[in-house]
């Protein structure tokens, strides 16, 4: 057994990291879609006020943090729906009021050298008890269940709110659900990466997955994979390198993003020859357009004179390398040959 | 499509109109913008809704979808009063917008499939039949070979067609389109017109808001014109051409212009034009109405 697994607290830490690494990007993709990437940060600020109240009452800070974050999550949607410019200011007041109150109360109770405060702001994963782990596990299961069940609806409400409303979906309820999911994710992640870094774990794996994915579904799966990789990798690294776990996790997530972006750029360059844009087209190929359609792996090529056109986004790629007729002449001469 | 083919001159006996507005008024924040709008669309009919910017076209059609406030008058969709309409998926909606959101990757298939969400409960997954309908809808708009493309890579005209396919995916009885041809180049307008003609041939009831009547020539059964929140014309394309000619003659007389140089609207009078010849390169075979 590797050394890291011989400690109880490290086993708990790894399990907590695995949960958070999966849950945070899963919810985060909808925030990215709605261009609300920083909402998680705001909810984290408010959660600190909840933690403070818990510390003050000598109660479970997780429960009070959950109440505060969920309350703020619902408030965000209610403020947003009124669509006033003052709504933005109301959110700022709520977020900074939350973190300021949190700092003041915790310092008042624990004294100014409070390690409690830093542990909530930047995470303290190695203090995860088995009891915490059970709470995280239950909350994570709820997040995953709700998100998976509603993923298509959340996708539509986030992508095209007006159409979702026109087709009769309860858009307001879906938006509040997403807000509450975000709030619960924030609280689950609080001990792992800390309230100030939570947003990073929700967003950065998604930034990486957008580089490789072609569909929403695959983007979600990649993001969860990158999230778990950074979270578990970060905990392991921090154990051996003796660094702060929360910060290490986020740095690793950023490293993965940079690596994936670099690889994606290289692949684009390397496959550029497959992506020669064909001559400008007077018509769009399709079933029955008069050009023979040739299935070709993951796409369809259209025989156009002596060369092949592969639909690629809004244009056609010249797929001369699998042309059935070698020795194609200048493509532009072939324009209307088959018509 | 589910609709049976019917024509304006042979209305389905006893079938309620697809859409009926009686002195309807819609607006925002409780204040009416359109007033006293009377409009009836028979099943199987294709109606174009014209009018200058800000005349209330979108306010009216969005009112039918519950997106603007219904303030007064009666509104019926397929014989059911709007406020009692439980199954909104009977109305297919193509919003007035040029492009799809591109903040995250999503495929044509994923976007079209969202058109079916409202017609099934959240715990039920898409059936094989649902997936087949998605493919069929993509095929109707000529995008069957792009089902797995990222929508952000499509051209504006193709994205408009994705939105039409999304509206078709719930097999609606009535299709409401807000400027489907806006911001689309001539070649793509021809493709869109082909799609609309195909739908009209299938007997789909359509209410199409547009500024480009020429692109819809031969498809439209009736024209309704709005101005400043009121209906200012309602009649056949031929009557509309006469109406426009009269309006422009009156304007010419009023402004002492030479009336013989202002016949730019006469084109609407021709029963068919080059766009409808069926010989253009985009004219795929029009599918026969089944399913
Ligand atoms: N959300 C809104 N709140 C308040 N007023 C609005 C709103 N949307 C539109 N209006 C007003 O309603 C009026 C009619 O707008 P509408 O969108 O119906 O015009 P339209 O005929 O569709 O024009 P266009 O050709 O530009 O699309 C406009 O004067 C506009 O200012
Ligand atoms: Mg409009
Ligand atoms: Zn290409
Ligand atoms: Zn072709
Ligand atoms: Zn070619
Ligand atoms: Zn090919």
CATH code matching the domain that covers A2-196, chosen among 1.10.3470.10, 1.10.10.10, 3.50.50.60, 3.30.2420.10: 1.10.3470.10
Q: What is the per-residue pLDDT for B195?
A: 85
CATH number of the domain within which B209 lies? 3.40.50.300
Q: What are the two backbone dihedrals, phi and then psi, of residue B154, each rounded to the nearest 5 degrees?
A: -80, 160
Q: Which residues of A touch B65 (CB under 8 A)?
A: 165-166
Q: What is the per-residue pLDDT for B277?
A: 36
Give the distance from residue A15's alpha carbon to the nearest chain B alpha carbon, in angstroms: 29
- State whether B95 and A217 contact (CB < 8 Å): no
Report B:130-169 residues touching A (Cβ under 8 A). Answer: 139, 142-146, 148-150, 153-155, 158, 166
- Closest by Cβ to A162, choosing from B95, B123, B143: B95
Query: Predicted ipTM?
Result: 0.83
Q: Which helix (H) or strand (E) holds A300?
A: strand A299-304
Alpha-carbon distance values, B261 to A118, B41, B169, B254 (Å): 80, 35, 46, 15
Q: Assess if residue B144 is contained within a domain.
A: no
Report A:265-284 residues touching B (Cβ under 8 A). Answer: 282-284
Listing from the earlier edge strand, what are the strands of the sheet with B91-94?
B91-94, B174-178, B205-209, B46-50, B222-227, B230-235
DSSP-assigned letters across all residues of B240-276: HHHHHHHHHHHHHHHHT--GGG--TTGGGGSS--GGG
Residue nearest to atom 5 of ligand 1 (CA): B28
The whole-angstrom separation of Cα B81 and Cα B19 is 10
Residue A224 exposure: Cα atoms within 13 Å on the Cβ side: 14
**Which among A312, B188, A276 has a CA at the least distance from the CA of A302?**
A312
The whole-angstrom separation of Cα A197 and Cα A254 is 12
Which ligand is in closest contact with the Cα of A310? 6
Q: Of all atoms in ligand 1, which is nearest to the CA of residue B60?
A: 18
Q: Assess if residue B209 is contained within a domain.
A: yes
Q: What is the per-residue pLDDT for A253?
A: 96
- State whether A169 and B117 contact (CB < 8 Å): yes
Ligand 4 mean position to A314 CA, how many Å? 14
pLDDT in tens, B29-46: 888 888 888 889 998 899
DSSP-assigned letters across all residues of B66-130: TSSEEEEEEEEETTEEGGG---GGGEEEE-S-SS---SS--BHHHHHHGGGGGGS-TTPPPPHHH
Q: Which residues pair with B28 in a beta bridge?
A: B31
pLDDT in tens, B116-148: 998 888 888 888 999 999 999 998 888 888 898
Q: Which residues pair with B213 in a beta bridge?
A: none
Q: Are B196 and B190 in contact (CB under 8 A)?
A: no
Q: What is the per-residue pLDDT for A50?
A: 93
Both tokens of A250, joined, read: 């986020």
Both tokens of B274, joined, read: 């080059």
DSSP state letter for B7: B
Q: Assess if residue B234 is contained within a domain.
A: yes
Ligand 3 mean position to A313 CA, how many Å? 7
Residue with more model confidence, B261 or A218? A218
Query: Residue B6 above 90 pLDDT?
Result: no
pLDDT in tens, B143-187: 888 898 899 888 888 888 899 999 999 888 899 999 888 877 777
A265 Cβ contact partners less than 8 Å away, ≥ 6 residues apart: none
- Parallel, antiparallel or unpaired: strands B46-50 and B205-209: parallel
Q: Assess if residue B44 is contained within a domain.
A: yes
Q: What is the per-residue pLDDT for A121?
A: 87
* Count of structural domains, chain B: 1
Give 10-residue mean pLDDT values along chain A (339 residues): 82 92 96 90 92 85 91 90 76 90 86 75 84 91 96 94 90 94 93 90 96 94 97 94 92 97 90 71 71 78 79 74 42 38
* Rg of the Cα atoms in chain B: 19
Q: What is the per-residue pLDDT for A287?
A: 65
Ligand 2 mean position to B115 CA, how many Å? 21
DSSP state letter for B207: E
Size of interface A-B (CB pairs under 8 A): 134
DSSP state letter for A274: G
Give the distance from residue A159's alpha carbon to the nearest chain B alpha carbon, in angstroms: 6
Q: Are B217 and B273 in contact (CB under 8 A)?
A: yes
Q: Which residues of B touch A338 (CB under 8 A)?
A: none
The whole-angstrom separation of Cα B118 and Cα B124 is 11
The whole-angstrom separation of Cα B28 and Cα B10 is 38
pLDDT in tens, B237-259: 888 888 888 888 877 776 554 44
Q: Are B82 and B70 in contact (CB under 8 A)?
A: yes
Q: Which residues surround ligand 3, an ion (CB under 5 A)?
A: A 275, 312, 317
With a Cβ cut-off of 6 Å, ligand 1 is lined by: B 28, 33, 51, 53-59, 96
Write out the residue limits of the CATH 1.10.3470.10 domain(s) in chain A: 2-196
Query: Residue B261 above 90 pLDDT?
Result: no
Residue nearest to atom 28 of ligand 1 (CA): B54
Both tokens of A242, joined, read: 């003796």
Q: What is the per-residue pLDDT for A48?
A: 92
- State whether B114 and A156 contact (CB < 8 Å): yes
Q: Which residues of B touch A33 (CB under 8 A)?
A: 101, 103-104
Pick among B114, B177, B187 to test the A interface (most A CBs inside 10 A) = B114
Helices (H) and strands (E) in chain A, counts: 11, 4
SS3 B41: strand
B221 Cβ contact partners less than 8 Å away, ≥ 6 residues apart: B7, B8, B45, B46, B47, B236
Does B60 contact chain A (CB < 8 Å)? no
pLDDT in tens, B193-229: 888 888 888 888 999 999 888 888 888 999 999 988 8
Ligand 6 mean position to B280 CA, how many Å? 26
Give the distance from residue B260's alpha carbon to the nearest chain A alpha carbon, in angstroms: 36
pLDDT band at B288 (very low <50, low <70, confident <90, very high): very low
3-state secondary structure A166-212: HCCCCHHHHHHHHHHHHHHHHHHHHCCCCCCCHHHHHHHHHHHHHHH
pLDDT in tens, B74-100: 888 888 888 887 777 789 999 987 667
Domain carrying residue B266: 19-95+172-274
Q: What is the per-residue pLDDT for B86?
A: 77
Give the distance from residue B21's alpha carbon to the nearest chain A alpha carbon, in angstroms: 18
Q: Which residues pair with B225 in a beta bridge?
A: B50, B233
């Amino acid at each position: 057994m590797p050394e890291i697994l011989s400690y109880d607290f490290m086993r708990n830490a790894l399990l907590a990291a695995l949960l958070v690494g999966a849950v945070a990007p899963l919810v985060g993709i909808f925030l990215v879609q709605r261009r609300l990437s920083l909402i998680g940060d705001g909810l984290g600020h408010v959660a600190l006020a909840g933690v403070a109240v818990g510390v003050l009452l000598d109660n479970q800070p997780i429960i009070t943090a959950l109440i505060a974050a969920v309350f703020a999550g619902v408030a965000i949607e209610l403020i947003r729906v009124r669509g006033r410019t003052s709504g933005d200011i109301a959110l700022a007041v709520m977020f900074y009021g939350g973190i300021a109150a949190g700092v003041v109360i915790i310092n008042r109770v624990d004294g100014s050298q409070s390690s409690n405060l830093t542990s909530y702001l930047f995470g303290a994963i190695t203090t995860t008890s088995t009891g915490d782990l059970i709470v995280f596990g239950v909350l994570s299961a709820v997040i995953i269940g709700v998100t998976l069940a509603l993923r298509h609806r959340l996708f539509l409400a986030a992508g095209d709110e007006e159409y979702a409303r026109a087709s009769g979906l309860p858009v307001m309820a879906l938006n509040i659900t997403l807000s509450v999911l975000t709030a619960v994710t924030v609280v689950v992640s609080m001990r792992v990466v800390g309230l100030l870094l939570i947003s990073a774990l929700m967003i950065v794996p998604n930034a990486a997955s957008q580089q490789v994915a072609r569909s929403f579904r695959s983007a979600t799966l990649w993001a969860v994979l990158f999230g778990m990789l950074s979270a578990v990798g970060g905990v392991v690294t921090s154990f051996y390198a003796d660094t702060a776990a929360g910060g290490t996790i986020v740095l690793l997530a950023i490293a993965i993003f940079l690596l994936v972006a670099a690889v994606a750029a290289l692949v684009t360059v390397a496959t550029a020859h497959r992506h020669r844009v064909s001559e400008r087209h007077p018509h769009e190929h399709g079933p029955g357009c008069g050009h023979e359609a040739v299935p070709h792996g993951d796409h369809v090529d259209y025989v156009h004179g002596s060369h092949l056109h592969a639909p690629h986004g809004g244009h056609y790629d010249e797929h001369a390398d699998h042309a059935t007729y070698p020795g194609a002449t200048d493509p532009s001469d072939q324009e209307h040959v088959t018509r | 499509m589910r609709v049976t083919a019917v024509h304006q001159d042979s209305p389905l006996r006893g079938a309620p109109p697809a859409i009926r507005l009686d002195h309807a008024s819609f607006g925002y924040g409780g204040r009416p913008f359109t007033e006293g709008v009377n409009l009836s669309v028979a099943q199987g009919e294709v109606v174009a809704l014209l009018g200058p910017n800000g005349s209330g076209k979108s306010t009216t059609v969005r009112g039918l979808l519950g997106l603007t406030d219904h303030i007064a008058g009666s509104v019926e969709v397929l014989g059911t009063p709007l406020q009692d309409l439980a199954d909104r998926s009977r109305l297919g909606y193509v919003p007035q917008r040029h492009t799809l959101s591109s903040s995250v990757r999503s495929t044509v298939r994923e976007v079209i499939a969202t058109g079916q969400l409202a017609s099934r409960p959240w715990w039920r997954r898409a059936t094989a039949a649902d997936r087949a309908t998605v493919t069929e809808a993509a095929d109707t708009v000529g995008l069957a070979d792009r089902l797995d493309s990222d929508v952000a890579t499509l051209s504006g005209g193709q994205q408009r067609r994705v939105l039409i396919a999304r509206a078709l995916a719930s097999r609606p009885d009535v299709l409401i389109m807000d400027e489907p041809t806006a911001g689309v180049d001539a070649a793509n307008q021809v493709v869109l017109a082909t799609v609309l003609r195909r739908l009209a041939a299938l007997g789909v009831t359509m209410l199409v808001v547009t500024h480009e009547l020429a692109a819809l020539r031969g498809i439209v059964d009736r024209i309704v014109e709005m101005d400043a929140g009121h209906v200012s014309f309602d009649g056949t394309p031929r009557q509309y051409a006469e109406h426009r000619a009269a309006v422009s003659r009156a304007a010419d007389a009023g402004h002492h212009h030479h009336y013989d140089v202002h016949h730019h609207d006469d084109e609407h009078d021709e029963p068919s034009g080059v766009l409808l010849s069926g010989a253009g390169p985009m004219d795929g075979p029009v599918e026969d109405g089944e399913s």
